[in-house]
A and B are shown apart, each in its own frame.
Chain A
C-alpha cells in the first residue's frame, strides 16, 4: 500500500465517525476491503466496481495465482492439467481494484481496520470476508498437516491435488484406494462423490483390478440417487460406498501406514484421501464473525455478519441456509452482497435478493449430473423457493448426461471468465 494513502485515511476518520452510515461526505470515496480472492471475493470486488466505480475497492489475497477447486477432481483423475485450473488477478487489477498481496491477520471492527501480514493497516467503511475454508486440523485424531503429506486432503486445489494424482499414478494395479468423507457441512457437498467417480474412471481405464472404498460419516449425500445409479452402471464391483450406519465413520487415521480406523474395523489403503472436517477460513475467527460451529452467521439480504456490524461474509465461510458451499453459490452471493454494500454505502436500503445455485458433477468424462436451486431470504435465513430447483432427472438418457458434461465445462469457462477474465 502507498504511504500517502495511509495518511489520507487518518484524515477522513473523523468524518466516518460522525456519519454512522458511511457517506460520500467531502468527496471521499467509500472504501471497501475484500479479503480473499476466490470465487466469492474476486467476484464481489469486481461487482462493486461495476455497480459504482467511485467505491475504492482493495482485494487482499496473498497468492498471485488462484487455483480453482471445481474440476480439480478431473485433474486427480488424469483428465485435465492443473494449469487449466489456474488464474491470475491481472484483469481484476485492471478494473481499478487495488490488489494487496498479503494475508489479512487482524480485524478491528470498532476502528474499521484490517491489518495485513506485512504490517499495513487498511481502513474500511465496509469489509467483505471471503476466506473460504480451513481444515479443522486435529479434529480427526492422527490427521495433521504432516499426515496430509501422506494422506492428502486435496480439498484446497494445488499441490495437494497433484500429490493425490501422483499417488494414484504410482499405485500398482490391484491397489485399494480409500476416500473418507466428512459430516455436513463442508465445501462442495457432491465433491467427494465426483472425486470417487473420476478416480474410479481412472482405475477402470488404467488399473482395472483395483478397488475404491468411500468411508462416509453420513448416511445421505448430494445427488445420491444419481451417483449411485451411475456407479452401478459404470463402475460395478469397483466402487463401494460405506455409509455411517454401516460403519463408515472414520474415528482416526494412521498416516505412516495409510490406515483408516472405524468403529467396525481398519482399512489399510495404498492411496488414502482424507477429506477432513472444515471450518471458515481463519480470519473469520480472528474478526469475530464465526460462531461456535466454526462458520459465519449472516443476514440473508446483505450478507452482513450477525456478530459484527460492518463486516459481510460470503462464500464457503458463510452459513447460507439452503445454499450449498459451491463456487456458483459463492459467485451468486458475491454479486448480491456487492449490490447490498453499494446501497448501504449510499445510505439506501438493499432490496430482498433472489439467488441461484447450479452445480455440475462429472461421474465420467461424458457423464454429467447437476443440482440447482433458487433461494430467497425467509425467516432470517436463505431458503429454497418451493417448487424450484432439484437434481437432474433419474431416468434421463445418456445423451442428457453427455449434454450436462458439456455444460459443466462451459460453466467453468464462463464463471472463471467472469471472475478472473
Chain B
C-alpha cells in the first residue's frame, strides 16, 4: 500500500508539472474568446499565439493608458497589472 501511494504521488507530481507548463497564466485563457487561435477564422482581431512578446505587452499597456485607440481593449486592459500583462505576453509568445 505504501509503495502504491508513493508511486501515485510520484506520478501525480510529474503530471502536475506537465499541467503547469501548459497552463495559461491568469486571464490568458479568456483572450481566445475574441482573438482567434485558428488561422481558419477571418477576423480583424489579431491572433496572439506566436506573436512577439514585447509587442503584446506594449499593446496591452498602451490600451490601458489610453495611448492606443480601442473599441473594447481599453476597458479590458485596465483589469490587468504589469506583472499579469508580462505573464500573458510571455505565454502567448510561446504558443503556436
**A binding-site residues for B, Cβ under 8 Å:** 19, 23-27, 47, 50-52, 54, 328, 331-332, 335-336, 339, 342-343, 346-348, 351-356, 358, 370, 372-374, 385, 387-390, 392, 400, 403-404, 406-407, 410-411, 413-415, 417-418, 421
Contacts and interface: CB of A to CB of B under 8 A. Distances in A.
Contacts of A414: 32-36, 41, 43, 45
Interface string B6-22: 01110111011011101
B8 to A, nearest CB: 4
Interface in B1-56: 4, 7-9, 11-13, 15-16, 18-20, 22-24, 26-27, 29-38, 40-45
Interface residues of B, number: 42
Interface string B53-64: 000000000000
Contacts of A331: 30, 33
Nearest to A414: B36
B31 A356 contact: yes
A372 B33 contact: no
B60 to A, nearest CB: 12
B12 A374 contact: no
A400 B76 contact: no
A417 B32 CA distance: 10
Nearest to B34: A411
Given A356-B33, A358-B33, A414-B45, A51 B76 contact: no
Given A417-B36, A417-B40, A370 B72 contact: yes
Contact of B38 (A358, A387, A400, A417): A417
A50 B22 contact: yes
Nearest to A328: B33
B19 A348 contact: yes
Nearest to B64: A388
Contacts of B78: 374, 385, 387-389
B8 A23 contact: yes
A19 B11 CA distance: 14
A410 B76 contact: no
Contacts of B11: 23-25, 27
A400 B71 contact: yes
A148 to B, nearest CB: 31
A76 B58 CA distance: 42
Interface string B69-80: 001100111111
Given A23-B8, A413-B43, A414-B41, A404 B19 contact: no
